[in-house]
Every structure is written in structure tokens, then in C-alpha cells.
Amino acid sequence: MRWKRTIQLLDVHCEGEIGRVAIGGVPKIPGETVAAQLHWLNTDPKGHELRRFLCLEPRGAPIGSVNLLLPAKHPDADAAFVILQPDQAHASSGSNSICATTALLEAGIVEMKEPETVVTLETAAGLVKALATCRDGRCEKVKLTMVPSFVHELDVKLQTPAWGEITLDLCYGGIFYGLVDVRQVGLAIEKANAAALVRAGMVLKALINEQLPVVHPEIPAISGVAYVMFRDTEADGTVRTCTTMWPGRADRSPCGTGNSANLAALHARGKVKVGDMFRSRSIIGSQFEVGLAAETTVAGKPAIIPTIAGRGFTFGLHQVALDPFDPLSDGFAMTDVWGPSAGEI
């Protein structure tokens, strides 16, 4: 073969959300820290090239993420990783942490020990501890101890052309979220409403980032609201979520970082305390267990340590390659599949 580049991907999904894991052929990513590597991926032309190669057509797709496994920088970490999505590289993700843990164990990169294996993941947002329940060579379930999550501001007023004034919470759960009670946009979190929810989420995200800039107080590489997560509460107390993602799709999982951000909001309002646990249900009905492990601080602000538990499943193994003569090496996106936001790619 005359391929210019090859990367081996283990196909994994977490509660329906695809998080492919690059387990071989990942190029060296410059940076002394994972946050610096994240910054390089988001600012250097070669970083953009790698993301487009893996995330855009004809090799990629609008649904799912690609997780780059990297050598750990922190002495306590088993592996580091950065999440690639069509828009940019992201610092943290609960579903992708579960996918990465499942891949590390089931591919034999980290030794699997039964009945439980602890895997420490290094992200640009900090260390994530993964407690994997293992049996018969399979990773059955993963419980994550997430990075500290905190409220940036509650009950923020946002003027919108379509819905008038809406109220949202700006919170951090490994990345920044705009958390919006879904009934404010006249919708319910149901599969039939996925396209309408995504359109609303893309509009709100743009308005939020125009009007409400946010930067992590200790990690400048993490800035801006990455996603809008719509939320609701079902009759049995289960939190229902739909995280909307650029260029226009819905997270299939309940969303780990989004639930971490929402947990910080619930804690700030006195609705949860240390030791509490509840279920969060996604737009497709899959579930995470969400817990509040501890209270802490970030740059002097009150913060919490969330836990997220869910399942990852491997479903394939493939190698993606680049023909040096391919005129579409830079990748592309079409509005017929990717939606109107594809015009920004």
C-alpha cells in the first residue's frame, strides 16, 4: 500500500454514544502537558489536519468522537487521551472516558484484573479515576471519579430571537456547559424531537458564546461553552438530558461531563449532598448513575467531585489510512448529512 498515514481504531460505544479509540499509529503530539497538547491540536495547522483526517468525511462521520491515546505525563496516570470531534479537540468527556477505559483493558494495553481494575486517565482537565468491573476478560461497567466541577453562574438571563428571555446555568464539568431547562424552548427530550433540539442547541450555543465568555480559572486552554445540554426531570426523579453538539447532533449517551456540570448546579441550589446518587437518562433511554463523592474548591470557588457510571462496548476494529494522492485528504462535510452548520467547517 502507498498510504501516507495509518491509524488503528478500536470501535467502542458508551450507552449508544460512539467513541472510537486510536490505539495505534497516533503521531507525536507536541506539548509538555495534556492541556498544552489540547491547545496545539486546536491551534496548529497540523493539529487541524489530524482532526479533519479522523473526524470528517470520507474517513469520518458527524456522529461520535475519536479519542487519541497518548503517553501519560502524570506519574499516577496509566494513559492520557484527548477527544477529537468535528469542531475541535475537547478536554474531557464521561462517555469517552468509559470508551477509553474499555479499550485500554479489552485491548490489553492496561492489564485487566478481575473483579475490578483501576485505570487512571490523564485529560487536559485533570486526572479521571476509572473503576472497571471486569469478568471473563470483559469490561462490564466503569465508574468514573470525574474532575472537580463547579458553577460559573446560575440563572443567567439570555435574550433570544426565537424564545424571548430564557434562563440558563453556566457550569463546568470538565468542559463548560450552558444548562437549559428544555421546556423553555417548547420541546420535550424525545427521539422524535432530536433535530429540533439540535437546532435550538446550536442557536443557543452561538448566543451564549457571543454574550457570555468563560475561561477556566486554572486551565486557560479550556474556554468557551462547548455544548448546550437540555435537561428535564421525569416523574420518578430521573434526570433526562440531551446534549447538543456541533455541527448539529444529539449526544446518544446521558453525557458524563454535562451531568457533572448539572450536579454542580444542583449542589449549589442545595438539592443534592455528598453521598447522594441518581439516574440520568439520555434521549435514547440509556442511563448513567450519577453520584456526588465529595466537596472541594477550584481557585477558591466551591466545587464538587462527581462520579459517573456506565457501560462501554467494543464493536469493531479498523485501520483508517490516507492515500497521498487523495484530493479529498483535507476532509469535507455536506449540509445534507451534517446540517446547516457544516457550512462552517
**Residues taking part in catalysis:** 93, 255
- Find, among 76, 14, 67, 7, the residue nearest to 38 by Cα: 67
Distance CA 99, CA 81 (A): 11
Counting beta carbons within 10 angstroms of the beta carbon of residue 252, is it exposed (0 to 12), middle (13 to 18) or buried (19 or more)? buried
Q: How distant, in Å, are the alpha carbons of 102, 116, 212, 221, 332 from that of 141? A: 9, 10, 37, 31, 36
Distance CA 42, CA 51 (A): 9
C-alpha cell at 201: 442547541
| Residue 336 DSSP code | H
Distance CA 241, CA 43 (A): 31
